[in-house]
Amino acid sequence: MEKLSDFLAMGGYAAFVWPAFAVAVGILALIAYLSHRTLRRYQVELARLEGETRDLPAGEQP
């Protein structure tokens, strides 16, 4: 257990390392969330556009 506490203490730099790690993980999570939300929005938009294209008479372009 002593080795774990030594690791978590980061040689006395834990006050700097762990918050930096938390910020980095938070930013990566935010990027993943925003990317997923944007993907879903574009998928809905694509489905809407494909639906409009199917409704056009044959030979017409949107």
Q: What are the tens digits of pLDDT across the range 1-52? A: 789 999 889 989 999 999 999 999 999 999 999 999 999 999 999 999 988 7
Whether 61 is in a domain gets the answer no
Residue 60 within a domain: no
Position 55, amino acid: D
Residue 62 lies in a domain: no
What global pTM score does this model have?
0.70
CA distances from 46 to 26, 42, 55 (A): 30, 6, 14
Number of domains in the chain: 1
Would you state the pLDDT for residue 60?
Answer: 59
Tell me the CA distances in angstroms from 27 to 17, 19, 31, one per residue in order. Answer: 15, 12, 6
Residue 54, pLDDT > 70, answer: no
Which residue type occupies 29? A
DSSP SS3 for 48: helix
